[in-house]
């Protein structure tokens, strides 16, 4: 007996208020958890900077290390995404591509106008990674200087360094989960393809 069309339709699960393609549900839950952890770490640090006081019970060393751990976690997370996950998704999804499609690149080279919606989306998430790391690298260098004793920690200065990349970080965390949501995923992938992802 052959498969019915209903067996081939995507299954949906409601998680944290959004429907997700079922086979990616565990992956997306993991990504959401990681993203929430990053948000919480960032908010803890930024709140301390705004109030100009460290969280109760957190030593100066622990506070600095919390900031450095955030940088390390984000760097590792982005490295894994860019090495394994993004190239797979980029086969069909422009948001994960490093460059716009060849036809657009050629047209741009020839001076032709008109960027498609897919071209505009190309490398969106990678561009966000770059913008995050521009600010985060300066933030990390500052904290390393504070940890080594070369620089005295000033929470107002730390806040200024965090403010350069906070908005793009939070936007990126939202955009990435949205891109992996069922509504977007089913535009590009069928259920069998998603089930075959080696991730």
Contact 39, 31 (CB under 8 A): no
Closest among 148, 86, 156, 158 to 123, alpha carbons compared: 86
Q: Report d(CA 191, CA 10) in Å as an integer.
A: 6
- Tokens (6 digits) for 49: 């900077």
Per the DSSP assignment, residues forming a β-bridge with 20 are 13
Beta strands per DSSP E along the chain: 12-15, 18-21
Q: How far apart are CA 199 and CA 197, in angstroms?
A: 5
SS3 18: strand
Enclosing H/E stretch for 30:
helix 25-51
Each of the 199 residues of the chain gets a pLDDT tens digit; together they read 444 333 333 333 333 333 444 445 566 777 888 899 999 999 999 999 999 999 999 999 999 999 999 999 999 999 998 998 889 999 999 888 886 555 444 444 444 444 556 556 668 889 999 999 999 999 999 999 999 999 999 999 999 999 999 999 999 999 998 888 878 888 898 888 887 877 6
85 CB-contact burial (10 Å; exposed 0-12 / middle 13-18 / buried 19+):
middle
| Helical segments of 81-123, H only | 86-90, 102-109, 117-121
**Report field, pTM of the whole predicted structure over 0.85:** no
Residue that has been written with the tokens 């806040």 in this structure: 159
How many secondary structure helices (H) and strands (E) does the chain include? 11, 2
- Quote the pLDDT of residue 186: 85
């Amino acid at each position: 007996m052959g498969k019915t069309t209903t067996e081939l339709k995507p299954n949906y699960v409601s998680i944290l208020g959004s429907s997700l393609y079922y086979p990616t549900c565990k992956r997306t839950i993991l990504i959401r958890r990681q993203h929430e952890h990053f948000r919480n770490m960032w908010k803890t640090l930024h709140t301390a900077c705004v109030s100009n006081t460290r969280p109760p019970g957190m030593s100066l060393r622990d506070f600095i290390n919390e900031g450095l751990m955030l940088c390390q976690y984000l760097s590792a997370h982005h490295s894994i995404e860019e090495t394994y996950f993004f190239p797979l998704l980029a086969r069909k999804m422009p948001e994960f591509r490093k460059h716009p499609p060849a036809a657009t690149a050629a047209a741009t080279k020839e001076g032709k106008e008109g960027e498609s919606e897919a071209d505009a989306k190309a490398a969106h998430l990678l561009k966000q990674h770059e913008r995050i790391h521009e600010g985060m690298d300066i933030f990390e260098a500052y904290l390393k200087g504070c940890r080594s004793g070369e620089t005295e920690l000033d929470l107002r200065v730390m806040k200024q360094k965090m403010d350069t990349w906070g908005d793009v970080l939070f936007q990126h965390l939202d955009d990435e989960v949205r891109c992996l949501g069922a509504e977007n995923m089913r535009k590009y992938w069928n259920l069998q393809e998603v089930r075959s992802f080696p991730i």
